[in-house]
Amino acid sequence: MTSTARWLEVHRLAVAGREAGIARKIGGVLGRVWLARSRFADVARLTEYTLTLGDDARARYQMGWAQHSTGSPWAALSSYARALELYRTAHDRGNEAATLSNIGLVYDGLGDRRQALAYYERALLILREVGDRAGEAATFNNIGLVHDGLGDRRQALAYYERALLILREVGDRAGEATTLNNIGLVYKRLGDREQALAYYERALLILREVGDRAGEATTLNNIGGVYDGLGDRRQALAYFEQALPITREVGDRAGEATTLNNIGGVYHGRGDGQQALTYYEQALPITREVGDRAGEATSLNNIGGVYHGLGDRQGALTYYEQVLLILREVGDRFGEAITRYNVAMIYRRGGELDRAVVELEQVVDLDRQVGHPDLESDTAMLDQVRREQQQGGSATGAQPP
């Protein structure tokens, strides 16, 4: 029996024997390990058993994390709200701040960035009060991510730079690497791929120095993504193939699925749709196994893109409809806008302009709701398709992204 299996058996016996203290302690340790390995569904079940013995802040917190990761944002908000109440009752200011930050993450995922920022600012006040400099830096990173999502790259960089200063001050090398990765992502989105690579390479050196294998795999994926964007698919593949065995070594199933999707993307970009499908179809069951609804939607979206590229219009629409069901279920309006755009472009290319307009109208509405940076270009596309509709013609526009 492995050590994890032994601890799980101890937890089971503690629950059966109504030994709340033991169950909470063992459940908390196992939950932390499993969250790091993307075993979100297992964490949800584990915390449910722990909570049969009475309310517990850490169990509620870990349940919220698992629910958010498995595509149940509203349930996650409920769990975090209860954890927050319990931490406040216990005057546990550090965990109160951590919970506020995680609530911010849920709202950010829902596209409600105003609420996300409000929670991050509340967390920031507590972290400064208790002198948690590393936590303050992590919150600056989260605020930077919100601004990056809003398309305000200058503000995002400003927050990341503030985080970087603190992390260097407190000697948090892993946190420094995370921030360098975030900065690299901003430069990638700005189209400055040389700067992006420079930051990613600095992050990689640190992660190898401190032995953070999971972080190393993430950064290798990031570097591969830059080379893929540059059209250097051989280099991209080399980095993704370095990342893949590391994700398996550390048991990061969600990271493994991400890497498989990235490798599939390289083959898709090469025009090898069948090989791309092989990798996407390996990623899909992993996302379902760990309950990663967002990852499942990504894999389904990628498969739909391959079928579209292969000229199988109906196959593509079938997969995109599955994606939309998940995105609506988890409240991902940002992702829904992107997928609906893809659907609209299929209808447009098929001459079904009425249906394309209906989809694009929803895209623009969703863009407005979440402050999507593509609002202007999507509105222009809607106007263009409306003109084509009035002229009674069809178009063969560019392939959807």
Query: Using CA atoms, how far apart are residues 204 and 91, in angstroms rounded to an integer?
Result: 38
Please report, for residues 36, 240, 280, the alpha-carbon distance to residue 259 in angstroms, rounded to integers and kept in the order given. 16, 6, 10
User: Tens-of-pLDDT digits for all 401 residues of the chain?
Assistant: 678 888 888 999 999 999 999 999 999 999 998 888 778 888 999 999 999 999 999 999 999 999 998 888 899 999 999 999 999 999 999 999 999 999 999 999 888 889 999 999 999 999 999 999 999 999 999 999 999 988 899 999 999 999 999 999 999 999 999 999 999 999 999 999 999 999 999 999 999 999 999 999 999 999 999 999 999 999 999 999 999 999 999 988 889 999 999 999 999 999 999 999 999 999 999 999 888 888 899 999 999 999 998 889 999 999 999 999 999 887 788 889 999 999 999 999 999 999 999 999 999 999 888 877 788 999 999 999 999 988 875 443 333 33
Report which of 222, 130, 135 is spatially closest to residue 170, judged by C-alpha positions: 135
Query: Using CA atoms, how far apart are residues 45 and 303, in angstroms rounded to an integer?
Result: 30
Query: Using CA atoms, how far apart are residues 152 and 160, in angstroms rounded to an integer?
Result: 13
Query: What's this model's pTM, rounded to 2 decimal places?
Result: 0.81
Half-sphere exposure of 172 (CA within 13 A, CB side): 19
Query: Using CA atoms, how far apart are residues 34 and 40, in angstroms rounded to an integer?
Result: 7
pLDDT value at residue 168: 95
Write down how long the chain is.
401
pLDDT (tens digit, 9 = 90+) per residue, 97-149? 999 999 999 999 888 889 999 999 999 999 999 999 999 999 999 999 999 98
242-246 contacts at long range (C-beta below 8 A, 24 or more positions apart): 243/216, 243/217, 243/218, 246/213, 246/214, 246/216, 246/217, 246/220
Please report, for residues 5, 79, 288, the alpha-carbon distance to residue 47 in angstroms, rounded to integers and kept in the order given. 16, 11, 20
pLDDT value at residue 1: 61
Residue 398 CB contacts under 8 Å (≥ 6 apart), including other chains: 345
Report which of 227, 231, 237 is spatially closest to residue 262, judged by C-alpha positions: 237
The one-letter amino acid code at 349 reads R
pLDDT value at residue 7: 87
pLDDT (tens digit, 9 = 90+) per residue, 77-87? 999 999 999 99
pLDDT value at residue 39: 83
Residue 23 CB contacts under 8 Å (≥ 6 apart), including other chains: 11, 14, 15, 49, 50, 53
pLDDT value at residue 401: 34
Phi, psi of 370 (to 5 degrees): -105, 0
